[in-house]
Amino acid sequence: MLDAAAPGQIVPVDSEHSAIAQCLRAGTADEVDRLVLTASGGPFRGWTRAALDDVTPEQAGHHPTWSMGPMITLNSATLVNKALEVIEAHLLFGVDYDRIDVTVHPQSIVHSMVTFVDGATVAKASPPSMKLPIALALGWPDRVPGSSRPCDFSTASAWTFEPVDDEVFPAIDLAREAGRGGGSLTAVYNAANEAAAQGFFSGAIRFPRIVEIIGEVLAEADEWRAAPGTVEEVLAADQWARDHAARLVKAYADGVNQ
């Protein structure tokens, strides 16, 4: 997508994709091996699947690092937000889903990384704030002096990284499946999530059901695997997914499929 855009037409503002765009300056497109998105892990990092059954909307509304609205904060808790960022990275940078990794970095200081074919990994680090990516987008390709305070290396600090627990948080794997499936499946993924999330906010379903419903909707979405020819076809896929997810929410709320 970025290659097809006129200079300056598309500039990533999301902190992870801004970081990738900056790291990509270190090499050519042919030299890129993998993209590595970082995730805070959300408020339930380290929890078991059973423990997630008792999560409340209030608990899901508290993010350990960022201050965001309720929907994005919930998406961060389910890791759907990171899953959508994987889709976004694929579309923006033209890198296959199999070459886009996610690692949990609770400190949210390293915002993303790019690994090159020679084994070198270039990372972009700065204190967690949206000031820098916004300023960079406004000044692109030039940097804006003083947009953010730098990392402080004068005191001891720990930056840790760990793998995503895909068994407990399967949202990212589902997004990769949707992306590989093609057509409008990524739109189906997004719409199903939004409908399921509303079911959680209303108290109709438990927290883990959100991503389970996304998976169930995708499993029935074969008619949306063909490449859409119009925007209307994408919107139709979106509406179908919302309606299907809403029916599943109601079924779970009524005690069916427990």
Task: Kindly report the pTM of this predicted structure.
Answer: 0.94
> For residue 17, what are its two tokens?
């994709």
38: tokens are: 């970082």
- Its CATH class, for the domain covering 182-258, is mainly alpha
Are 112 and 37 spatial neighbours (Cβ–Cβ below 8 Å)? yes
Over 90: is that where the pLDDT of 229 sits? yes
Query: Sheet of 110-116: strands edge to edge?
Result: 121-125, 110-116, 32-39, 100-104, 162-163
- 80-93 and 185-201 helices, crossing angle to 10°: 160
Q: CATH 1.10.1740.10 in the chain, residues?
A: 182-258
Per-residue pLDDT tens for 62-78? 776 666 788 999 999 99
Residues 3-44: tens digit of each pLDDT: 666 665 789 999 999 999 999 999 999 999 999 999 999 999
